[in-house]
Amino acid sequence: MSHPFEQQLARIRETLLLMSTLTDRSLTLAVRAVVERDNQLADLVEASDTEIDQLEVAVDDLVVTYMATHGPIARDSRLMLIASKISSNLERIADQATKIARRARDLNQEPQLTEVENIPEMASLMKEMLHDAITSFVEARYELAQTVIPRDKEVDELNRRISRKLIKLMIEAPENVTRAFNLITVAKAIERAADHVQNIAEEVFYLYSGQDIRHEGKISLG
């Protein structure tokens, strides 16, 4: 039987895992709402956003309680810091899913653009990143977390490519402006979600290696 403090740490991890599962589901449904032109899927995404928001608050509560009662040290102290950051990033990813779902409703009122076929590839790249970042957290594999980080650039590149196509479309035919703009917003939301996944991967790397690889260099605060 594990020590009570380990059970509390496990609860923080499990809550993050639940949050990531719901976030992953929201992303999947939001992209399907765009591709399959299904407003009901968009409704499901918006409904689960509240639950994800509540889980973010719950993670912070668990973290503050654990810090106040256990005075965590070493890896446990890093877990406190990154648990709060991971939950915040997951909540923002879920916000991007909601944004995609809302744009899906607008897009579904007009004929579909063929450029929508580029969205699933971009979304699946981003969702693989999320899957690997969360797996690296669960399985304590900081090397896996490290492989997630450069993949953000691939998502950025796909976003640029899709946006260029859509802008061209808007210039060629003004009647495309609304739906092309909505589709650009969807691509941008996926790109932003990938940025948050990259943050999660960096946080997992820090948790298990003790090395902060965000940005470049450090300043000394004395």
Partner 1 sequence: MSTSQPLSQEEETAPAQPAAPASPNAVDVENLDFYYGDYHALHGVNLQIPAHKVTAFIGPSGCGKSTLLRCFNRMNDLVPESHIKHGSIKVHGTDINGPNVDPIELRKRVGMVFQKSNPFPKSIYENVVYGLRIQGRNKRAELDEIVERSLRAAALWDEVKDRLHESGVGLSGGQQQRLCIARAIAVEPEIILMDEPCSALDPIATSKVEELIFDLKKSYTIIIVTHNMQQAGRCSDLTAFFYLGRLIEIDRTEKIFTNPTQKQTEDYITGRFG
Binding site for partner 1 (CB under 8 A): 3, 5-6, 71-78, 210
Nearer to partner 1, 42 or 62 (CB): 62
Q: How far is the CB of 209 from partner 1 (least distance, A)?
A: 9
Q: How far is 164 from 167, CA to CA, in rounded Å?
A: 5
Minimum CB distance to partner 1 smaller for 79 or for 94? 79
Nearest distance in Å: CB 205, partner 1: 13
In this complex, which beta carbon is closest to partner 1, that of residue 81 or of residue 116? 81
Give me the least distance between CB of 86 and partner 1, in Å please. Answer: 19
**Which C-beta is closer to partner 1: that of 64 or that of 171?**
64
The DSSP annotation for the chain comes to ---HHHHHHHHHHHHHHHHHHHHHHHHHHHHHHHHTT-HHHHHHHHHHHHHHHHHHHHHHHHHHHHHHHH---THHHHHHHHHHHHHHHHHHHHHHHHHHHHHHHHHTTSPPPGGGGHHHHHHHHHHHHHHHHHHHHHTT-HHHHHHHTTHHHHHHHHHHHHHHHHHHHHHH-GGGHHHHHHHHHHHHHHHHHHHHHHHHHHHHHHHHH----SSS------
Q: Smallest distance, Å, CB 128 to partner 1?
A: 30
Cβ 157 to partner 1 shortest distance, Å: 35
**Residue whose CB is less far from partner 1, 4 or 111:** 4
Q: Which two tokens stand for residue 173?
A: 């035919």
Q: How far is the CB of 142 from partner 1 (least distance, A)?
A: 13
The answer to whether 106 and 54 have CB atoms below 8 angstroms apart is no
Which residue's CB is nearer to partner 1, number 81 or number 170? 81
